[in-house]
Amino acid sequence: MVIRMKHNRLIPFVCLVLGLFALGQTGAQGQAANPDYERPAVFTANLGSGISLYRAPTAPVNCTDTSCPSAPSGLDKCVERPKFCVYYTTASISQTEADWAADVVQDYWDRFTALGFNEPKYSTKLEVHLTDTTDCNGGTSWSSNAMSTYAGCFDVTLLAQKVLGHELTHRVQYAHDSGGTAPVQTKFLKEGTARATEDNWFTEIDHWAAALSHSSFNSEVNNYLLAAHNDITSYDMRYKSCLWWKYAMEQYGITITEPQRGIDFVRQVYNQNTAGYSGIAAVNQALSTMGAGTNFDQSFKQFAVANWTKDLTGVPNGSYNYIDEDEAGNPGPYGPLAPVSGGTIQVSTSAVWNNVNLNRYGLRYYQADIGANCPIVSASFHRDDDGPAFYHVVTQNGSAFNTHVQGSGLDWTQAFLNDGITKIVAIAGSLGNSSQVDITLSCADPVLDIKMPNSVAVARVQNSTKFLAQVLVTNGSPSGPVVAGLTNSHFSATVNGLDAPVTGGGFIQEQYWLLIQ
């Protein structure tokens, strides 16, 4: 008898034939003086097309002639509405723009309540300040009864609309918050959800063609994909975390209509703030309440994969993709993500990264192209400490998804028979604490050596009998390094010329123990 492999290596033996076969396919931000204020946008061109009118222009009204709260210094004109007042000066804001801003605030206010959110937090009347500043920014704070948008935002109509909506979203968050002298909300939750939902309130923002030219959800997504190694829950990543929030909205929200897809997930998280939960705890409570069957840590792991597989064809299901990115009218693709390249690997050449630091809730991506001499592709991970590291491996044929596996632990290896694989991507991340790992992407030229049964320890079989075979797989020769990471499905067997299914087994003591029928 012989041992036969796909690569035509023949090993003489008795009674049993084992071979390897290929797997089938399966299926605006904080200034130093006040962290509640938004980061200024940088203008390189005026992309606006003029202020859209919701009503005929009216004459400016002095704030002293209204029932609005006392005007802040320098803003002496007011547009009064039942629950808020817009303050401005005609030196920088026209009456038409002020009336338009009041209509925008009212539209957002009505939209929030129609979607089941609490009204924005206010006392008597909310003060909306259109400040006499030439750049674009905005802000609000927990302890104030005011929000601001800079006059410079009005150079671009939809930019002004977006900033007004973003700041009013913070007022909605405060209305859900159970904090007393300080909010329970973390910046990860506050700014992450405000940025993520910017394109969930109105279609014109969702499809804003110039979004990537300004501080926006889309531009912040690209910023995250360049900095995914940082802790996504940290203060510095508070805006960039919007990508995880968008992913969670699509995966766990029940609302699927546009542009408000998944907004019910955000509302449920805010409800947990009302109950006193903060940050990740609020997320976990919301996921539990919605019956999602997952938690933040597990979601973060799958999010890590989707950031790469979103650009591949043939992914198994929606958890590997972003609906918003594929939606007609989206301003542009997310990213792309750029993994660290290990070049081309083959039997004699591996890609190795040692002592890789993984920040808490940070992600790192590595890739290698597959050379001509690579019968088996392998990814190996070794954890240098006791951190909560986790790993993913994705293989692909061109731009088509091939295989995805995930693991964790001190040492974890996964191998794949090369059935046309052109690229392998290794993803390493950490959960609640940092980790340090070593990563190797390599190729193997497999040799099979059946240790049992043998001429001394024979297996006596008949139809339906099950017996155990112990097989050593090495790289290049019977004495070469052991090839780990294969699964039972990689092996086939024949007994006396008859197919004998491999029905179970595992990798034990550096050998594959296969239960054969």
What pLDDT is recorded for position 49?
A: 35
What pLDDT is recorded for position 483?
A: 84
What pLDDT is recorded for position 461?
A: 85
Cβ-contact 482, 472 below 8 angstroms: yes
HEC sequence for 165-209: HHHHHHHHHHHHCCCCCCCCCCHHHHHHHHHHHHHCCCHHHHCCC
What pLDDT is recorded for position 294?
A: 97
What pLDDT is recorded for position 515?
A: 93
Identify the burial level of 30 via C-beta atoms within 10 angstroms of its C-beta, where 0-12 means exposed, 13-18 middle and 19 or more buried. middle
Closest CA relative to residue 311, chosen from 332, 341, 282 = 332
Neighbours of 477 (CB within 10 A): 10
What pLDDT is recorded for position 508?
A: 86
What pLDDT is recorded for position 56?
A: 58
Distance CA 64, CA 70 (A): 8
Please tell me the total number of residues recorded for the chain in this structure. 517
What pLDDT is recorded for position 8?
A: 35
Distance CA 149, CA 164 (A): 6
Residues of the chain with pLDDT under 50: 1-54
- Is the C-alpha dihedral spanning 82, 156, 135, 89 positive or negative? negative
Is the bond preceding 120 in cis, omega lying within 30 degrees of 0? no
Closest CA relative to residue 131, chosen from 40, 261, 223, 266 = 40
Q: Residue 383: beta bridge partners?
A: 437
HEC sequence for 403-447: EEEEEECCEEEEEEECCCCCEEEEEEEECCCCEEEEEEEEEECEE
CA distances from 497 to 9, 216, 502 (A): 18, 65, 15
Closest CA relative to residue 499, chosen from 5, 10, 16, 24 = 16
What pLDDT is recorded for position 485?
A: 82
Distance CA 452, CA 469 (A): 5
Q: Coil, strand or helix: which one is 497?
A: coil
Residue 481 one-letter amino acid: P
What pLDDT is recorded for position 454?
A: 87
- Please tell me the pTM assigned to this model: 0.86
Cβ-contact 483, 475 below 8 angstroms: yes
Structural tokens at position 297: 């840590």
